[in-house]
Every structure is written in structure tokens, then in C-alpha cells.
């Protein structure tokens, strides 16, 4: 007998996936069906609303290319990206936060201390620290892959005035686990609103601003890589970040450089990263 009630229909769909050979895949798809059906029942979803949802997802996909990832942005503004980070956090390791839509693989490996931007990108800033395990032992050969906006809040991929890989670089630690690089102090920026995610933010009267940050993916052989940020402690958007990415443990002062600091920088940021095995 075929289903006549919502509950019977949901049950039929769940049964149809019951033979999925991979247990984890079976768990994920059946949970997705249960929650999706519950959403439709709870809201009494209309055919027009269902179609509007499909049009929204279609537009989201059509906005994606190899430099723009609208689905990542959608996941970010829904808080899903941050939720996945929080669920999967490794105890005692540096907290992770959103990857965001502006990561580009293949940034150049740079010499320790090198400047990753240009003088016109903003106030010269020295970022330095150590990569360690969770017990504080330095990690040799760890990779710190960093990227950020300039002081206008623009990434190289958004700004034809910046050369490719501007404000991006990869640093590899030695036996002491130390890294340092010169950069510009980043600015807050609005997330891209020229696509369907922007339409969603306008319709819901949500803030589009991200707290100023430097991105990093820190990895080392045999350890769990962490995708994270360094947030500027002076930033006004720390409590209203559009993608729910701020973790208190990732906020650092951009300290004005003193007489003991290198003469070519205006600010110094100290940030250590700890990786779990
Ligand atoms: Fe960013």
C-alpha cells in the first residue's frame, strides 16, 4: 500500500534508503530525509515556497566558479560551517573556524619573515609565533598557509589592482617551530552580496560584515591540520560576525611596535598554533 499521510510517506522514503551498503552514508542520508521532511511538515511548505527554494539553490550553484564559492558562503551565513568546526574540535588544539570563500591553493612558499603584501596594502604588521603539538613541543616542517584582505577589505581575487597571490604565502617551520611574516593590518569587509546569499541577507536584514582577520591553514605531517583565523582585538564586529566565525581564543591584540621590535613594522601580533595528532 502506498503512503497516504506525511508520516507514512517519510517512512517509505527512509525504507528506500535502508539498503545503502555504507553505514555512515546510510546514517547521513536517512537523517537528512527525516529532518527535511520534518521541516516541510512543521512549516506546511507550499509548492510556491518549495519552488522558490529550488530556484535559490540553483542560483547559488550558478554563482559558483573556480574563484567564487557561493555554497561555502551560504553554509557560512547559516552557521553550518562553524557548527561543523565546533562539533569536530580537537581538545587542546588551536580552535578552527571557517575556511571562507577566498582560499586559493598553491600560494608561493616564502622565506621566513618575508612581506606577503605591498606597502599600499596597509599598516605594516609583523605576525609571529610557534607551531607546537598540544603539549607545547615545537613542530619541525609545519606549514602555515596564510591569506587575508588588504586595508580596503579586498582579497587579490576580488581586486584587479592586486597581483595574483598578493597577501598570501606559505611558511615552513624549522626545528624550533617558529614562523614569522610581514603583512598589512587587515580591515573588516562585507561578505559578497552580489549573489543569492546577498539576497538572503537583505531579505532577513542581517549584517554583512566580517570581523577583521588573517586566515591560516596550519598543518604538519602526522597531525590534524587546523583551518583558522587570527582576529584583531580592536575590531568592532567581533560580536556580530556575519558567518559566526569568531572564537575568543583566536582574538589577538595588534600591538603598536616598540623600540625592541623591527623598525619596518607598525604593529606586532603574537599567535601560536597547537596541532593535535
Ligand atoms: Fe576572510
Q: Cα–Cα distance between 140 and 149 in angstroms, integer?
A: 28
Give the pLDDT confidence score for residue 262 in this predicted structure: 95
Q: How far is the CA of 157 from the centre of ligand 1 (A)?
A: 12
Q: How far is the CA of 264 from the centre of ligand 1 (A)?
A: 25
Give the pLDDT confidence score for residue 2 in this predicted structure: 82
Q: How far is the CA of 222 from the centre of ligand 1 (A)?
A: 27
Instruction: Give the residue-averaged pLDDT of 149-159.
Output: 93
Q: Residue 8: is its pLDDT beyond 80?
A: yes
Q: Residue 138: is its pLDDT beyond 90?
A: yes
- pLDDT per position as a tens digit, 84-127: 999 998 889 999 999 988 899 999 999 999 999 999 999 999 99
- pLDDT per position as a tens digit, 168-193: 999 999 999 999 999 999 999 999 89
Q: How far is the CA of 106 from the centre of ligand 1 (A)?
A: 17
Residues 6+ apart with CB under 8 A from 80: none
Q: How far is the CA of 105 from the centre of ligand 1 (A)?
A: 15
Q: Residue 1: is its pLDDT beyond 80?
A: no
Give the pLDDT confidence score for residue 101 in this predicted structure: 80
Q: How far is the CA of 82 from the centre of ligand 1 (A)?
A: 14
Per-residue cell: 6: 506525511
Q: How far is the CA of 241 from the centre of ligand 1 (A)?
A: 11
- pLDDT per position as a tens digit, 44-94: 999 999 999 999 999 999 999 877 889 999 999 999 999 999 999 888 999
- pLDDT per position as a tens digit, 235-270: 999 999 999 999 999 999 999 999 999 999 999 999
Q: How far is the CA of 158 from the centre of ligand 1 (A)?
A: 12
Q: How far is the CA of 136 from the centre of ligand 1 (A)?
A: 28
Q: How far is the CA of 215 from the centre of ligand 1 (A)?
A: 6
Q: How far is the CA of 148 from the centre of ligand 1 (A)?
A: 6
Nearest of 78, 89, 59 to residue 224 by alpha carbon:
89
Q: How far is the CA of 32 from the centre of ligand 1 (A)?
A: 30
Residues 6+ apart with CB under 8 A from 128: 178, 179, 180, 181, 268, 269, 270, 271
Q: How far is the CA of 232 from the centre of ligand 1 (A)?
A: 12
Amino acid at each position: 500500500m502506498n503512503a497516504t499521510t506525511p508520516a507514512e510517506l517519510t517512512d517509505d522514503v527512509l525504507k528506500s534508503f535502508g539498503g545503502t551498503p555504507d553505514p555512515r552514508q546510510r546514517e547521513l542520508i536517512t537523517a537528512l530525509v527525516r529532518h527535511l521532511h520534518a521541516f516541510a511538515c512543521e512549516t506546511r511548505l507550499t509548492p510556491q515556497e518549495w519552488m522558490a527554494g529550488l530556484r535559490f539553490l540553483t542560483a547559488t550553484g550558478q554563482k559558483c566558479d573556480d574563484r567564487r564559492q557561493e555554497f561555502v558562503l551560504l553554509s557560512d551565513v547559516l552557521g553550518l560551517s562553524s557548527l561543523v568546526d565546533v562539533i569536530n574540535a580537537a581538545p587542546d588544539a588551536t580552535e578552527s573556524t571557517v575556511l571562507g570563500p577566498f582560499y586559493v591553493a598553491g600560494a608561493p612558499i616564502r622565506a621566513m619573515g618575508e612581506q606577503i603584501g605591498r606597502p599600499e596594502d596597509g599598516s605594516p604588521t609583523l605576525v609571529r609565533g610557534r607551531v607546537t603539538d598540544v603539549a607545547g613541543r615545537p613542530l619541525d616542517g609545519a606549514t602555515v598557509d596564510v591569506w587575508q584582505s588588504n586595508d580596503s577589505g579586498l582579497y587579490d581575487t576580488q581586486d584587479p589592482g592586486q597581483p595574483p597571490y598578493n597577501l598570501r604565502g606559505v611558511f615552513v617551520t624549522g626545528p624550533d617551530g617558529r614562523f614569522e611574516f610581514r603583512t598589512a593590518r587587515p580591515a573588516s569587509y562585507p561578505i559578497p552580496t552580489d549573489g543569492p546569499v546577498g539576497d538572503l541577507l537583505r531579505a532577513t536584514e542581517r549584517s554583512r560584515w566580517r570581523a577583521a582577520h588573517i586566515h591560516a591553514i596550519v598543518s604538519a605531517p602526522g597531525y590534524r591540520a587546523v583551518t583558522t583565523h587570527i582576529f584583531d582585538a580592536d575590531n568592532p564586529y567581533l560580536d556580530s560576525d556575519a558567518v559566526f566565525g569568531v572564537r575568543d581564543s583566536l582574538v589577538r591584540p595588534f600591538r603598536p611596535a616598540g623600540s625592541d621590535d623591527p623598525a619596518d613594522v607598525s604593529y606586532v601580533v603574537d599567535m601560536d598554533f597547537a596541532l593535535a595528532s
